[in-house]
Amino acid sequence: MALVTEDGSGRADAESLLSVSDALTHHANRGNAAWALLSTAAQEQALRKATDYIQGVYGLRWGGYRVSQTQALDWPRYQVVRRDVLASHVVQYWPSNEVPAGVKRACAELALRASAGDLNPDNSQAIKREKVGPIETEYQDYSSAAPSYPAIDAALKPYLATGGSARLVRG
């Protein structure tokens, strides 16, 4: 089944925040040859998994509001404040008829990771010490067994709501 990509209209049937062709361009521009070696079906599956991960991990943290109650994905959104633009105290927003480039980049990067394994595997007990011949591994106490993607967190940070703040509107 062909991948249904969000085009900025708030599609009710969208499965991915990024198209296969845009993912191919993204990875080709960065020299990620492994992506091009995947079949189209595998790329589509990885993009769906990446989108599912983004929806699940960041879904309640986005700034602004969904454009439509019937849209399948969290993007597009309206009233997502652009914190990278200073225009004499005028609040500016990301366009509400598109998926921002940073969100698409994060989807592409997560899709590459998803093509190699589970993005959010079930946690198991962390290994305290393991010795195989001369090789020994010991993990820090209280370290997380869950994967962490700091580059993805950084890419999506501009689109997240700021914590603890509220806008005051006077009538």
Q: What total number of domains does the chain contain? A: 1
* Residue 98, in any domain of the structure: yes
Q: Is residue 116 part of a domain?
A: yes
The tokens of 7 are what? 């085009």
Residue 69 belongs to some domain of the structure: yes
* Residue 83 maps to a domain: yes
What amino acid is encoded at 155 in this protein? A
CA distance 96 to 142: 41
Helix extents (H) in 30-157:
33-37, 40-58, 101-116, 150-156
The pLDDT of residue 8:
96
| Position 164 in a domain | no
Q: What is the pLDDT of residues 44-76, one digit of tens each?
A: 999 999 999 999 999 999 999 999 999 999 999
- Confirm whether 46 is domain-assigned: yes
SS3 category, 81: strand
Q: What is the pLDDT of residue 167?
A: 45
Query: What stretch of H or E contains 65?
Result: strand 65-66
Q: What is the pTM of this model?
A: 0.82
pLDDT at 137 over 90: no
What is the domain range of residue 96?
Answer: 20-159
Q: What tokens appear for 15 in the block? A: 């499965």
- In the chain, % of residues over pLDDT 70: 82
Residue 132, in any domain of the structure: yes
Paired strand residues for 136? 131
